Amino acid sequence: MSKTDHHDRRQPQPYRPYRWPKEPDGHSGGIWFGGDYNPDQWPEQVWAEDVALMKRAGVTMVTLGIFSWARLEPSDGVWDFGWLDRVVALLGEAGIAVDMASATATAPYWLYQAHPEVLPVEADGTLVHPGTRQSWRPTSPVFRRYALRLCRVMGEHFSDNSTVVAWHVGNEYGWNNATDYSQDALKAFQGWCRRRYGSIEELNQAWGNDFWSQRLQNFDQVPLPEHAGVRDAFINPALRLDFRRFCSDALMDFFCAERDQLQELTPDKPLTTNFMVSTDQCVLDYERWSHQVDFVANDHYFAHGPGHLDELLCSDSLVDAYAQGHPWCLMEHSTSAVNWRIFNASKRQGELIRDALAHVAMGADAVNFFQWRQSAFGAEAFHSAMVPHAGPNSAIYAQVANLGGILRRLSQSGLAGTQLEPSSIALLFDADCQWSMADSTLPDCSIDHWQQVYIWYQALLDAGYRADVVPLKGQWERYDVVVLPSLILLDQDQADRLRDYVSGGGRLVVDFASGIMDDHMHVGLGGYPAVLRDLTGIASQEMIALGTSDQGGGSILVSEGIEGNIWVNEPLSIEDSVRVLARYQGSRSYDIDMAGKPAVTIHGYGQGRVLYLGTGFTKESLVSVINRIFPPDFFTGAAGRGLHNGRDGDPRLVHLIRSGPQGRYHFYFNRGSTVVRDVSTMGETLVVQRATPYSGGGLSGNRYTIGVHGVVVTRQ
Which residues of the shown chain bind ligand GAL in the complex (CB under 6 A)? 171-172, 175, 299, 301, 332, 338, 370, 380, 383
Among candidate residues 125, 246, 258, 130, the one with its CA nearest the CA of residue 185: 246
634's CB contacts (< 8 A; 6+ apart) are: 481, 507, 609, 611
The Cα 510–Cα 43 span in angstroms is: 59
The Cα 21–Cα 297 span in angstroms is: 12
Q: What is the DSSP secondary-structure string of 625-661? A: IIIIIS-TTTTHHHIIIIIS-SGGG-TTEEEEEEEET
Tell the smallest beta-carbon distance from residue 469 to ligand GAL (Å).
21
**Beta carbon nearer to ligand GAL, 140 or 368:** 368
Instruction: Establish whether 570 is a catalytic residue.
Output: no
**Beta carbon nearer to ligand GAL, 180 or 299:** 299
The answer to whether 339 is a known ligand-binding residue is: no
**Beta carbon nearer to ligand GAL, 162 or 176:** 176
The answer to whether 171 is a known ligand-binding residue is: yes
3-state secondary structure of 365: strand
**Beta carbon nearer to ligand GAL, 122 or 380:** 380
Instruction: Establish whether 575 is a catalytic residue.
Output: no
Cα dist. 353→63, 162, 304, 347, 426 in Å? 21, 31, 15, 10, 28
CB atoms within 10 A of CB 606: 15
**Beta carbon nearer to ligand GAL, 103 or 188:** 103
For the chain, the C-alpha Rg in angstroms (whole number) is 26
Among candidate residues 446, 445, 497, 447, the one with its CA nearest the CA of residue 470: 497
Tell the smallest beta-carbon distance from residue 285 to ligand GAL (Å).
18
Q: What is the DSSP secondary-structure string of 95-113? A: T-EEEEE-S-SS--HHHHH
**Beta carbon nearer to ligand GAL, 383 or 655:** 383
For the packed helices 449-463 and 308-322, what is the interaxial angle rounded to 10 degrees?
A: 110
Tell the smallest beta-carbon distance from residue 303 to ligand GAL (Å).
13
Tell the smallest beta-carbon distance from residue 263 to ligand GAL (Å).
22
The Cα 512–Cα 446 span in angstroms is: 14
What are the φ/ψ torsions at residue 470 (nearest 5 degrees)? -130, 135
3-state secondary structure of 688: strand
**Beta carbon nearer to ligand GAL, 254 or 456:** 254
CB 396 within 8 A of CB 386: yes
**Beta carbon nearer to ligand GAL, 301 or 479:** 301
The Cα 83–Cα 87 span in angstroms is: 6
Tell the smallest beta-carbon distance from residue 356 to ligand GAL (Å).
16
The Cα 324–Cα 328 span in angstroms is: 9
Tell the smallest beta-carbon distance from residue 384 to ligand GAL (Å).
9
**Beta carbon nearer to ligand GAL, 385 or 406:** 385
DSSP 8-state assignment for residue 213: G
**Which is catalytic among the residues 258, 311, 332, 563?**
332
**Which is catalytic among the residues 73, 172, 258, 351?**
172
Please state whether beta strands 468-471 and 425-429 pair in parallel, antiparallel, or not at all (unpaired): parallel
Tell the smallest beta-carbon distance from residue 714 to ligand GAL (Å).
33
CB 472 within 8 A of CB 429: yes
Tell the smallest beta-carbon distance from residue 332 to ligand GAL (Å).
6
Tell the smallest beta-carbon distance from residue 623 to ligand GAL (Å).
32
Work out the widest C-alpha separation in the chain, in whole angstroms: 79
Q: Which residues of 687-705 are buried (b: 16+ CB within 10 A; e: fewer)?
A: bbbbbeebeeeeeeebebb
* Beta-ladder partners of 580: 601
Q: Which stretches within 444-555 are classed as H helix? A: 449-463, 492-503, 533-536
Q: What is the DSSP secondary-structure string of 559-628? A: ETTEEEEEEEEEEEEE-TTEEEEEE-BSHHHHHTT-TT-EEEEEEEETTEEEEEESEEE-HHHHHHIIII
What are the φ/ψ torsions at residue 518 (nearest 5 degrees)? -90, -175
Among candidate residues 624, 625, 573, the one with its CA nearest the CA of residue 603: 573
**Beta carbon nearer to ligand GAL, 131 or 697:** 131
Tell the smallest beta-carbon distance from residue 338 to ligand GAL (Å).
5
* Catalytic machinery residues: 172, 332
Q: Residues annotated in the binding site, as ranges?
A: 133, 171, 340
Q: Residues annotated in the binding site for substrate, as ranges?
A: 133, 171, 340
